[in-house]
């Protein structure tokens, strides 16, 4: 997985015009139920964030791309859960991880709308909370507001985290 993130970061460094579309796709996959369980993309997002300051890639389009990708992934997960309800838990790959839907259900019931925002920042919850919100028919517009706001904050957080790490490494390289 580390080689995958490094190869993507190298590609983005060499082809900065592709940074925003690649981040959009990575954030979409990271937020999409099923896909995020198989291919976690957060490492590649942090690595691309490290390139922002080091290679002159503009933060704004990459940030917006990440936010839109993450929000679309959650929106599709919500829709899938809304459409297929309880059948989702019996589908692969969730059938291999039977604890995810009940954990997501407990989380959504306990936290409600703030849970959408909170769930964005915690591994498997990131993809399962929107799916469960759809299964249990959380109000659509309330979900979408929390979805888009949290997606933009999450995207900024990962990219800025990578940027800060990149700046620290660059400083250490010059200093040491």
- List, for residues 155-169, the tens digit of each pLDDT value: 999 999 999 998 898
pLDDT, averaged across the chain:
88
pLDDT tens for 83-120 read 998 788 788 777 887 887 787 788 888 998 899 999 89
**CA–CA dist 26, 101 (Å, integer):** 23
Please tell me what DSSP assigns to residue 91.
S
Quick one: how many helices (H) and strands (E) in the chain? 9, 0
- Residue 112 DSSP code: S
Planar angle of CA 13, 176, 165, nearest 5 degrees: 40
Q: Is 29 helix (H, G, I), strand (E, B) or coil?
A: helix
pTM reported for the whole predicted model? 0.89
Q: What's the whole-number mean pLDDT along residues 39-46?
A: 83
Q: Residue 1's pLDDT is what?
A: 59
């Amino acid at each position: 997985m580390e080689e995958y993130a490094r190869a993507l970061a190298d590609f983005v460094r060499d082809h900065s015009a592709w940074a925003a579309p690649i981040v959009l796709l990575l954030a979409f996959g990271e937020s999409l139920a099923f896909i995020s369980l198989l291919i976690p993309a957060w490492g590649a997002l942090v690595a691309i964030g490290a390139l922002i300051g080091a290679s002159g890639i503009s933060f704004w389009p990459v940030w917006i791309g990440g936010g839109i990708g993450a929000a679309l992934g959650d929106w599709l997960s919500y829709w899938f859960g809304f459409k297929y309800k309880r059948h989702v838990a019996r589908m692969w790959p969730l059938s291999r991880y039977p604890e995810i839907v009940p954990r997501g259900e407990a989380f959504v019931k306990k936290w409600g709308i703030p849970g959408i925002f909170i769930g964005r920042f915690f591994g498997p919850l990131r993809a399962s909370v929107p799916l469960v919100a759809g299964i249990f028919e959380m109000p659509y517009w309330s979900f979408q507001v929390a979805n888009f706001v949290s997606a933009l904050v999450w995207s900024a957080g990962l990219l800025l985290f990578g940027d800060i790490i990149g700046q620290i490494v660059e400083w250490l390289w010059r200093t040491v």
